[in-house]
Amino acid sequence: VGDERRAAEEAVRRCYSTWSTTYHDEYYGEGAAHPPVHRDLLLRLLADAGARDVLDAGCGPASFLRHLEGTGIRPFGFDLTPEMVAEARRVLGDDDAVWEGSALDPEAFHPPGDPGRRFDAAVCAGVLPHIPAGTDADVLGFLAGAVRPGGLVAATARNELFGLFTLNRYSRDLFHDLIDVEGLRAEALPEEAEGLEQGLAAMDARFRTDLPPLRTGEDGAPGYDEVLSRAHNPLALRDAAEAAGLREVRLLFLHFHRLPPLAGDAVPALQRRASLAMDADPSDPRGLVMASSVVVTGTAP
C-alpha cells in the first residue's frame, strides 16, 4: 500500500470516526437537507434486478443497508472506518454481515471467511469521492468481481459538471480544473503573466466562492471538505465503468436543483418542491448539469 493512499485513508477514517452514530440521522432522517433519494433509487434498482442479497462497499453505519429490512434482500457490507463497522453491526444485529476493509483492496469485496462468495448486486454510495484519482476503474472492477455474472453494480459520485450550474466555489474549482490554471501559467510568456492573472480574477469574481460553506470537522477530526472528496465528470465515470468491463452501463442523476443553489435559497420551499419533482426521473439528461450526484450502473460480465 502506497504512502499516499495510506495517508488519504487515514484522513478519511478520522473524518468519519466521529460520525458513526449521527450520520444516518443527518442524511436519511427527518431533518436531512435533502430527502434520501439515492436510497429510493438504489432500492428500486435492486428490486428490478431481483437481487436476494447485496454487498454495500463503504456501507457506513448500515445507513442504506438498514432500509433493506422487509425487502427480502440480505444485507452485507464493509467499511474503512472501524467506528462505522461497529455501528453497522449493532444496527443490523449481525457481526458476520459487516467487516472492515478498503474499496481499494479487492479482497475486501468478499466476506473474510468466504472469499469465493458472489452477490446478486453490489452498491457503493458516497465512497468514490474519497478514492484517489485514477483508481475509479479499479474500484468499479472490484464491484463487478463481487457479483455473479449478470449481477447489478451501482455506484454514486458527486457530479463535477454540476459546477456549471452552481455559480459558486464548485464552479470556480471546475473552471480552474478545465483550464488547468497552473499549466496555463507555465505556458504564459512573461509579458502575458499579469494579463492572465487579471483575466482569472475577473472570471473568479463571477462566482460566489464563499458558498457553500466549508464543512469542517468535529473534535479535531478533519471535515468532509478537508479530506479527499473528489467530484467526478459523469462521462469519465461511464468510461471508467466500461473500462472495468461492466455491460449495459447507464448514468442516472440524483439531487436535481431546479434553481442554482444560491438562487434557490431565496425560495426554499419552491426550490425543494420543484427539485424533488425532477428527481422523479433520474434519466433526465439535464441532470448532467442540474443534479449534484450521479449514479453509474451496469451489469457484471
Ligand X SMILES: C[S@@+](CC[C@H](N)C(=O)[O-])C[C@H]1O[C@@H](n2cnc3c(N)ncnc32)[C@H](O)[C@@H]1O
Give the residues lining the site for ligand X (CB under 6 A).
9, 12, 16, 56, 58-60, 63-64, 79-81, 84, 102-104, 125-127, 130-131
Q: Which burial class, exposed, middle or buried, applies to 92 when counting CB atoms under 10 A from its CB (0-12, 13-18, 19+)?
A: buried
126 burial via Cβ count (<10 Å: 0-12, 13-18, 19+): buried
Residues 60/68, Cβ–Cβ less than 8 Å: no
| Alpha carbons 218 and 300: distance in angstroms, whole number | 39
* Smallest distance, ligand X to C-beta of residue 50, A: 22
What gap in Å lies between CA 136 and CA 286, rounded to an integer?
24
Coil, strand or helix at 293? strand
C-alpha cell at 192: 502575458
Q: Which is nearer to ligand X, 65 or 167 (CB)?
A: 65
Whether the ω angle into residue 261 lies within 30 degrees of 0, i.e. cis, is no
Compute the least distance from the CB of residue 56 to ligand X, in Å. Answer: 6
CB of 217 to ligand X, least distance (A): 13
* Residue 206 Cβ vs ligand X, minimum distance, rounded to whole Å: 30
**Between 24 and 172, CB nearer to ligand X:** 24
d(CA 173, CA 230): 11
Closer residue to ligand X, CB minimum distance, 80 or 167: 80
Q: Which is nearer to ligand X, 46 or 167 (CB)?
A: 46
Q: In angstroms, what is the minimal distance from the CB of 127 to ligand X? A: 4
Interatomic CA distance for residues 62 and 104, integer angstroms:
20
Q: Which is nearer to ligand X, 1 or 189 (CB)?
A: 1
For residue 49, give the C-alpha cell: 434486478
Q: Which is nearer to ligand X, 97 or 167 (CB)?
A: 97
Q: Quote the least distance from Cβ 220 to ligand X, whole Å.
A: 17
What value, to the nearest 5°, has the Cα angle with vertex 163 and ends 223 and 203? Answer: 105
